[in-house]
Chains A and B, each alone.
Chain A
């Protein structure tokens, strides 16, 4: 496949260079049209995110010339001297470019491998280019494939399944204990930024009930109001009396004293009839007594514990990324093999349309000879008889075309495809067998 990719990403260019070369979405359409107007470029898509700017083109000219055209375009459109652009650029062509596009869409080339935003960004870039009219048959097939591969990677590997931020790891641990979170209650101790971030993660995970405990009630109320207005604010002195209402506790305060000690937790567990209680202590020094973890059905995690989980999950992600690479490699090979075959889809569609039109026209022409027909009979002729004839005629042709396409040709052997030299097809055979039998009966 004749494909060219010129671009830069977080590994080849510092953020300063990336931001100078980025395309704001509003200007993307115009830039694409300008690029496509170059004689060296047949089709083009520009992928511009905070970590990468990549120009993917189907060139109309020899590679070196096309690379030059794209590089000049990048310099001119951003009004930069080529010395500031060229050192950061990488160039992939043909199979390497296909592989790169599939890897990017599958989030294997991302700064945080497995992050899910990139697929949306690639889809957006494709949509913008389609709207600008710079996507043709080649890029269309490549990107459709890339979306399918990204989906496959996501469903068949755990690349995005392992949480690697404090908030998402907390949610993961909570799900490990409670399974679903929508009917659980979250208690935040402290009203700082950390507390707010955790609350956000838990709300995204489905938690609907929130208690915020803070020394200053007004700050607590501010956070409580942020979340559907469903939160309630309480003072720290109310903690012992309200602890049992919470299933999940997140503490992140700057306090130097312990907010929850073992006897408080014990009392809360008893009032909860030993339903599990999960506590996250994100404060340093710790404000939840670590020995609460010794109680039955109480689970305590401090910052170090969470960091350990993150490290383990990162290892898992790397392992999954290796599996994903294998999938991408196989898909690249399969795509290239399929691409080199002629695309028979449009031919088949056109052929079917033509045959259907002929049938419909002939039916109209001879309609009068058929005499009076009920609507059901007429529908049966159209839907079953004519459609059947079209499909039966098309079927061997499709098979023949497909077979020919696999051998890289568009010629089909009609005598073989319709088995003209072999025995008559089944329907005829049945009639043929019928005829002598009838003759015998008559005789």
Chain B
């Protein structure tokens, strides 16, 4: 066996395993002083990892382990985006993780988060359903531990139970679907399976079961019931990770599998996605309006954003893939900025996350308020910010394939979403409040992460080379 191929194509995963091992060893070996610098060391390591793997070293598609693992420059781009999201989450998590009841298990936080990242990388690069399944579970089992991380808090434990039971149920359904795919097609390799896909009734059932499993990870509407509870109960840093990185990885690998494996059945899954998109966007928007807790509010907003992401999947073209990746990138910076502000306010005000607590925040913390406002504008898709462009590309991708009514429904829903995003802005700027949250200064790494997100929100839409760069490598059905 040729080992050099493994190192030259699997460099992302191998480097990430290196980072995980380094984190484990550092956790064990560092003394009291070393632990003070743990956060800085981890961020530096992750930055080094991103810098080393962001450039796509090969321009061609390649297979390792007999087709189990597939290398493609597009996958590399998505993995880098996920790693950048993780870095921003790490930067924001410092204040929370330094608290007394979580300080002694900081190492676990880093190792578990990086393990889920590794699982997502394998999930994206899978060329075989077993690899895909292992990656998916590697991404969701440590995630359950992270959700239940604040183990003395009732909410966190409850959220963890809801998450792990729904995750188990969803993965059971997905495996059931895969087993029938295996029974009808006779293989589990993505590339070979296409030949055996003929749209028989059994395969349609398998497709639906399979879609359920991934729909759970992306939290699309019929499978979204865990989302709000888990997002509210989990520690805020974990919530932001869950809402961005995990969702993006699942959405991307769903697109890959639908195109690669279920390509011949596209009329079936396009119908399926059509219904799911309309439901996700509409129902999530209606529920978001009535939320009073900001974390729950962002949970519903992220469900409706997932519906928009699916608009790119339904097109199945290279342009759709580019717009998906771009949308995920833009959504990531905007959502992480919003969660960063929520996290900073929560940590510095003794756990306040209600929308009423934000009344009059502008008078005491103007900078945070402005960042939050810009992030919400970007999520809503207001023109000068990146969110407008990403939404535009997604709509164009779906429109091109003839989903005119669907795009119209999505457009109408952006207006509803604008209403509830502006509710938060109104609370912060206009609603009078005699005792707003007092002014505070968040720690430097949070400020750095917010600055990064802000730069992303402002610049990503205008710097067109980002979109073109992704477009260079994208492929379609």
Q: Do A and B bind each other?
A: no
